[in-house]
Amino acid sequence: MKIAITGGTGFVGGHLARRLIADGHEVVHISRNAGAEDALGRKSGVTRVPSDLSDASVLAAAFAG
């Protein structure tokens, strides 16, 4: 399943993202934080979308599918 999350650089969001990936889900990680890649490592199954949640067109693209 494709699942979009925000807050993946935080404690709970990071654990959630890693668990979803381990369970075989495709994670779309929406974050304004440039360090998001470091927080999740370079894991396969993660699509990173830089956004501060105020750009509706970026969010629509991230949630597509």
Taking the C-alpha atoms of residue 60 and residue 27, their distance in angstroms, rounded to an integer, is: 15
Q: Where are the domains of the chain?
A: 2-54
What are residue 17's phi and psi, to 5 degrees?
A: -60, -45
63: left (phi > 0), else alpha (psi -120 to 50), else beta? alpha
Residue type, 23: D
Tell me the per-residue pLDDT of 5-42, one tens digit each, with 9 for 90 and over.
Answer: 887 778 888 889 889 989 999 988 888 765 555 556 66
Is residue 48 within a helix (H) or strand (E), and if so which, with residue range? Answer: strand 46-50
Is residue 28 within a helix (H) or strand (E), and if so which, with residue range? Answer: strand 26-31
Whole-model pTM: value is 0.72
